[in-house]
Amino acid sequence: MKKLIPLLALVLCCLSCDPPFDLSYSQAAAVVSKMTLRQTLAPVYGLEGDRENLDIVFLPDKKAAAPGIDFQNGFLLLRGTYRTMLRHVRFDSAKSSYNAFGWWSAEYLDPDPYYHRYLFEPLKFSSVANSFVGMFSMDPDYPQNRRFHILNATFVDGSLVPQFEWNLKDDLLRNAPPPVYDANVMGFSINPRDLAQPFDDSYWLVRIVNPPIDAGKLMEVSMSLNAGGLFTKADTKPGAALFDIPELAGVDRCLYYYDPGRAQSYVSWFDTAAGGWRCISWKGMTATPERSLLPGVTHRIDALLTTGRLFSTEGGVGRVYDGNGTEIASFPLGALRFIGERYVDGQPLALFSLARIVTERYSETLAIDVYSIPAADLETLGE
Amino acid sequence: MQRIRPAALLLFLLAASFLSGQEQSPRETPRRLMLGVAQSGSIGLTDEELTIASRSMLLALQETRADLILVEPARRLADPSDGGMSQLVEESGADCWMLVDISGSKSELVFRIHSRDILSGSTVIDTTIRRQAGEELSMMVLPYERWQDLSGLLAGAYLPREATDLPSRDPGSAVLIVRVLPGTVLTFSGGTKATVGLDGAAEVTLPVPAAYQIQAALRGSSTVKESLFIQSNRALAIEQARVPRFAIDASALICWPGLAVSFFPLPEWMFVRAGLTTYIVGLAFRPEELFFSDPLTNLDLLGGIYVNPAYSPVRAYAGLGGFLRFVHAAGWPMRLDPLAPAGFEAVLGIETPIGASARFFAEYEPMLYSTATPELLRSTQRSRAGWIFFSRAALQLLSSRIGIRWLR
């Protein structure tokens, strides 16, 4: 018996399994305990071969009608080290499962180390009958050209087929009212405020490139967009003017947010000289707007919330700043990925998704949980 | 604890004094000296101090004469006169006595020593010793008192009697004198039992010639088994080690290091263990990496029992307990793991000696994790093998630990 003990110990060790621990799940569990689980998409089929990349974000489709968000259908961003793949996932009610579809062109190399993950925004589609889902993106394949396109897809017999994509670059400002400017887009954002309209309000920060008309000046532009594309004329903001922000001299790419309620603009950009993120805010559409650098914001800003707060998820850490750039709360997000602020039944919510592998007896499938928290309560996650 | 320590030390010294004794010649039988300690004057020793003084003195004197069995009085010393002492010495199974009367003050002791040999009817010692002023006698110093000023008194006195003094026995039997700690229960093969008295020796008559197994059991000491062949009168000293009250474990839970401290509230049978297992570094057993790390540490507390005797070559034990899981990731304050903050564990283990005070052990250790997010917990595992998932918990069936246990 005594001689068998080492053998027995060896057998026991060989049969043992790892402890149940994953820091990213632990950190996520700490914050989802204060959130509402809106939807679990499981099982999700059609991602075999891609699901090993668990850096997956679910971007639910937008609707023009209530509740405003379709939690069962939406886009998937599969983020890898060198590329981002785009898929659309749709609920199959007959099989009570979810199917992901992709198309050949919806894969993007990621040449830009700082911005590449923040280029995708779902757009509203006016009705289910219209059968359009839209994805608006700044194409990282052509960073110099600042090319944009809208991906459209329609549902045919329950499957998703890409319809067309088109370049927005040439159309963006040509459709603007005179005077017509030739400009490069530096950044854009979609205002999360839902005004019960069949389109999204998008805001743009552009830099004039063509002399002799004030080359190098900045201009803010708003446009109406939906899944059908640019269907309304581009419109400069009331009282828009060309202006200068000296801190942004030389910056050709940034994250730009505009709060129409407060008429406040924010730019978050990576300062390669300083080796860090900076943030500046300004107000007023004069040639010399009242601006203020926010030195407390040293992380990338991923959203301007309807509460007036700024939200960063850089490095997997959620940070909430007030409008003056003072950090109010910070908390690890772990495996949670920030979707954005969305209106659901008229309430502004901060949405997050969490992708996980579910191991069954003979197979593995992907599951995606969607959580929400009122946007105003986001800072309580740091308590 | 202050009261336990002197007693534990005395017990240890008592055991050590007997263990250091020499085996008695079968032709001689030891003398039994009853030691009485009393106080007089205004020294004011408490009963407890007097008892400790008496026992530590007995141990110290015993060390000077291994061939002499010192015994305590069978009852409280009421009459310190020669007559009273002579009566008490018979009741105590001794054949000579020594009375030490302590007087003076606690810092300047005076010992009046008077001793008589009942067999010869003579006074052996009658002297007074004055100790120079020194450290005050107290409960703190008494257990460590060596009584060196008294230890020389016994030299040359109370020589052993010839073995012919032993009671006559049947020709087919012999007397075995077993010297063990007082209170020890001796069990002989064949069913004979004997309980050792205060003198630390037991005389047992056994059929001879025959081979015997003797088990000496005493709470607080290791149970000892001895085998011997007896064909005539003989004496036997059995070493009884103090039962360890503590143990320190160095272990590996699969491939993560752990440390634990055990306390044995019921020595040799029951244990309470507090342990720590950290996942800061572990062996990966994968070709691409040798080590890996998780910022997680488990603290556990469990109690259990041994299921077979301490002298068994392989001991089995079982226990139940609970654990807390702490996450200590950089940039995140240490906290209970939100994924599975706590749980319960069971232990089924075996241990075997690998030295005088060390054991190798292997444990099967299933763990039940409580969780508010079972789906997330489940997603940490890429295999369901060895797992049972519940709505608010997960049971890890395949978990084991090996290690070394040092007994103290």
DSSP string, A289-331: -EEEE-TT--S---EE-TTS-EEE-GGGEEEEE-TTS-EEEEE
Cβ count near A174 (within 10 Å): 11
A54 in any annotated domain = yes
- Please give the domain boundaries of chain B with CATH numbers for all domains: 31-159 (3.40.50.10610), 164-237 (2.60.40.10), 246-407 (2.40.160.20)
Q: Cβ contact (<8 Å) for B377 and A20? A: yes
Nearest to A23 among B329, B398, B400 (CB): B329
Global confidence as pTM: 0.69
Residue B202: name the closest of B343, B361, B87, B93 by CA.
B93
Q: CA-nearest residue of chain B to A5? A: B362
Q: Are strands A218-226 and A235-236 parallel, antiparallel or unpaired?
A: antiparallel
pLDDT 10s per residue in chain B (408 long)?
A: 333 333 333 333 333 333 333 344 445 667 788 888 888 888 888 888 888 888 788 878 877 777 777 878 877 777 888 888 877 887 777 788 899 999 888 888 888 999 888 777 788 888 888 888 877 777 777 767 778 888 788 877 777 765 444 444 455 788 888 888 888 899 988 788 888 887 778 888 888 778 888 988 887 787 888 888 887 777 788 877 777 888 898 887 767 899 999 999 988 889 999 999 999 988 766 666 778 889 999 999 999 999 998 878 899 999 999 999 999 998 888 999 999 999 999 999 999 988 778 999 999 999 999 999 999 998 888 777 888 999 999 999 988 888 999 988
A13 in any annotated domain = no
User: Model ipTM?
Assistant: 0.82
Q: Measure in Å the smallest separation between the Cα of A316 and chain B Cα atoms.
A: 11
B330 lies within 8 A of chain A by CB: no
Where on the phi/psi map is residue B47: left (φ > 0), alpha (ψ -120 to 50), or beta?
A: alpha
* Among B332, B359, B397, the residue to mutate for chain A (most A Cβ within 10 A): B332
Query: Which residues touch A114 (CB under 8 Å, ≥6 apart)?
Result: A270, A300
Segments forming the whole domain that contains residue A264: 39-382
- pLDDT at residue A348, as a whole number: 94
A352 in any annotated domain = yes
A220 in any annotated domain = yes
Encode pLDDT of B121-165 as tens digits. Answer: 788 888 888 888 877 777 777 767 778 888 788 877 777 765 444
Q: Cβ contact (<8 Å) for B338 and A357? A: no
Question: Which chain A positions have a beta carbon within 8 Å of B298's beta carbon?
Answer: 19
Which residues in A have their CB inside 8 Å of a CB on B?
1-2, 5-6, 8-9, 12-13, 15-23, 25-30, 32-33, 40, 317, 332, 354, 356-361, 364, 367, 369
Distance separating alpha carbons of residues B200 and B184, to the nearest angstrom = 8
A205 in any annotated domain = yes
Encode pLDDT of B46-63 as tens digits. Answer: 888 888 888 788 878 877
Q: Cβ contact (<8 Å) for A1 and B313? A: yes
pLDDT 10s per residue in chain A (383 long)?
A: 556 666 766 666 666 667 889 999 999 999 999 999 999 999 998 887 665 666 899 999 887 777 788 899 888 888 877 777 778 888 888 999 998 877 655 666 665 666 654 467 777 765 444 445 555 555 555 544 455 556 655 555 445 555 555 555 555 555 555 555 677 778 888 888 877 777 788 888 888 876 656 778 888 887 777 666 554 444 544 446 788 899 999 888 889 999 988 889 999 999 988 899 999 999 876 677 889 999 999 999 999 999 999 999 999 999 999 999 999 999 999 999 999 999 998 899 999 999 998 887 777 889 999 999 999 999 999 87
Q: Cβ contact (<8 Å) for B384 and A26? A: no
Pinpoint the alpha helices (H) of chain A: 4-15, 23-32, 169-174
For chain A, how many structural domains are there in total? 1
A208 in any annotated domain = yes
Q: Cβ contact (<8 Å) for A8 and B254? A: no
CATH classification at residue A297: 2.120.10
Distance separating alpha carbons of residues B249 and B406, to the nearest angstrom = 6
C-alpha dist (Å) from residue A200 to A192, A196, A301, B259: 8, 10, 21, 60
A269 in any annotated domain = yes
Encode pLDDT of A111-152 as tens digits. Answer: 566 665 446 777 776 544 444 555 555 555 554 445 555 665
Question: Which chain A positions have a beta carbon within 8 Å of B366's beta carbon?
Answer: none
Question: Which chain B positions have a beta carbon within 8 Å of A334's beta carbon?
Answer: none
Encode pLDDT of A312-344 as tens digits. Answer: 999 999 999 999 999 999 999 999 999 999 999
A7 in any annotated domain = no
